[in-house]
Chains A and B, each alone.
Chain A
Amino acid sequence: MSEDLESRFEAAVRSESRIEPRDWMPDGYRKTLIRQIAQHAHSEIIGMQPEGNWISRAPSLRRKAVLLAKVQDEAGHGLYLYSAAETLGAERGDLTEKLIAGRQKYSSIFNYPTLTFADVGVIGWLVDGAAICNQVPLCRTSYGPYARAMIRVCKEESFHQRQGYELLATMMSGTPAQREMVQDAVNRWWWPALMMFGPPDSESSNTERSMAWRIKRNTNDELRQKFVDMSVPQAERLGVTFPDPELRWNPERGHHDFGTPDWDEFWRVVQGDGPCNAQRVAHRRAAHEDGAWVREAATAHAAKRARRAGREAVA
C-alpha cells in the first residue's frame, strides 16, 4: 500500500500536477517544505525591520507612504506563507516561538544594518530583485499552497523593486553627496545580495533532493548568475558600479564572470554572528511579548460576545 502511495506521489510530481494539503506525501517532503516555508515566512517578517527603521525619517510624505505600503506588504507576505505552512500541519504560534527562540532561521540579508536612506532604495532594487529571482521559479513549485502564495508575493514584489530603483535614480540626479550615498549603499549590499541565493551548488546539501521533488526549480548558482546578468545593465543605467574587480562580460559563456562571495562571512552570519542578528530577534520577541495583552483581550472579548449571544438565543 505505502509503495503504491509513494509511486503515485512521485508520478504526480513528475507530471507537474501539484501536491495538495491532504494528499499523501513522504515525511521528508513535508519536513523540507515546513522548514523552507517557515524560513521564508520568517524572512518576510524580520525583513520589515531594516526598512521599518526609516519610516519615521523618510524625506517626504510620498516616500513615507510608499515605504509604509512596502513594509505592510512584507507582513502580508509573511502571513500568506505562514498560512501555507499551516496546511502541512505546522502551527503558527509554534513557528513564531521557534523564530524568537532562534531555533528557525531567516534570510541572512536582514542581519545587515540600514545606515542611510539610500539603503532603502538598494534593498528594493537588489535585495528584492534577488528575492524575485528566487521566487519566480517557486511559483511552479510542486506544493500547491506554496506555489499559490508565491504567485501573490511575486505580483507585489515588482512594486518593491521598482520603487527602490526609482528612489535611487532620483538620488543619482541629486547632489554629489547623494550620489556617493547611493554608491556606498551599493558597495555594502552587493555581496550580501549575492549570498541570498545560498551556498555554492557544490556545498548545498539540500539542493539535489529538493530539485528531485520539484520544490526547488533551479540551483543556487544558476539563480545567482541570472541575478548578476540582470543587475549589471541596471547598474550601468543608474551610474553605479559593483564592488567586484572580477566582474566582466564573458562572450564565450554568454554570461558575466564574477568574483566569489566571502563564504566565511556568509556562514558566520547564518550561525548568528552578523551585525544585527541579536537585535533583529530581540525586536521580534519584544513585539510578540508586548502584544500578548492585545491577543488575550481579543480572545476575552470574543468569548464574552459569544456568551451573550448564547444567552439571547436561549431567552
Chain B
Amino acid sequence: MSASWPLWEVFVRGKRGLNHVHVGSLHAPDAEMAVRNARDVYTRRNEGVSVWVVPAEAITASSPDEKDPFFAPSGDKVYRHPTFYAISEDVPHL
C-alpha cells in the first residue's frame, strides 16, 4: 500500500549557480525511486539540473511561531545592517 511508503521532501536546483529550493513532496518506497519520481513530477520542463530528496521525518524545524523567541537574538541588532551607519553622502564607493 502506498500508505506505507515514506514521504520525501523534494529540492530542485534550477540551474548551476543557484541553491536547491524546496518544491514539494512525494511518496516512494526508497531513495532511488524517490529521485526518479521527483524527476517526473517536478522537472517535466527543464526546471532543474539537480534533485535532492530527503525523508520528511529527517527534517528538524524551528517552531512555526512567527513571534518565536528563537529568532529574537537578531531582532534587536539593527547594527548588523549597512543602513544603520550614517555616512556623509560625498564619501565615494561606500
Nearest B residue (CB) for A295: B2
Q: A83 CA to B5 CA in the complex, in Å?
A: 14
Closest chain B residue to A301, Cβ basis: B29
How long is the Cα–Cα vector from A86 to B33 in the complex, in angstroms?
20
Residues in chain B near residue A295, CB distance under 8 A: 1-2, 5, 29
Verify if B54 is at the interface (C-beta below 8 Å from A). Answer: no
Query: Is there contact, CB below 8 Å, between B3 and A22?
Result: no
Q: Binary interface profile of B, 22-59, with partner A (CB < 8 Å = 1, else 0)?
A: 00111101100100000011001100000000000000
Q: Give the nearest-CB partner of A306 in chain B.
A: B30
Asked whether, in the complex, the Cβ of B29 is within 8 Å of the Cβ of A91, the reply is no
A115-137 interface with B by 8 A CB criterion: none
Q: Contacts A23-B64, A298-B29, A305-B30 hold; do A80 and B24 have CB atoms under 8 A apart?
A: yes
A76 touches B2 (CB 8 A): no
Q: A20-B64, A91-B3 are in contact. Are A79 and B26 (CB under 8 A)?
A: yes
Interface size on A, residues (CB 8 A): 33
Residues on A with C-beta less than 8 A from B1 are 93, 292, 295-296, 299
Interface contacts (Cβ under 8 Å), in number, total: 59
B61 on interface, CB distance cutoff 8 Å? yes
**Residue contact A79 to B7, C-beta cutoff 8 Å:** no
Structural contact, B3 and A92, CB atoms closer than 8 A: yes
A302 CB to nearest chain B CB (Å): 4
Contact with B along A280-315 (1 / 0, CB 8 A): 000000000000100110110110011000000000
B60 at the interface (CB under 8 A from A): no
Give bound CA distance, A136 to B2, whole Å.
Answer: 31
Verify A73–B44 contact, CB threshold 8 A. yes
**CB of B88 within 8 A of chain A?**
no
A253-294 vs B, CB cutoff 8 Å, 1 = contact: the mask equals: 000000000000000000000000000000000000000100
With both chains docked as a complex, state the minimum distance between the C-beta of B63 and any C-beta of chain A, in angstroms: 8
How far is the CB of A78 from the nearest CB of chain B, in Å? 10
Q: CB distance B64 to A299 under 8 Å?
A: no
Please list 16 pairs of residues, one from A and one from B, whose beta carbons are closer than 8 Å in the complex, sorted by A's number: A22-B63, A22-B64, A69-B44, A84-B24, A92-B27, A93-B1, A93-B3, A94-B3, A145-B24, A156-B45, A295-B29, A296-B1, A301-B29, A301-B30, A302-B33, A306-B30
Binding site for A on B (CB under 8 A): 1-5, 7, 24-27, 29-30, 33, 40-41, 44-45, 61, 63-64, 66
Q: Across chains A and B, which 3 residue pairs bring their CB atoms closest together, nearest first?
A: A22-B64, A93-B3, A302-B30
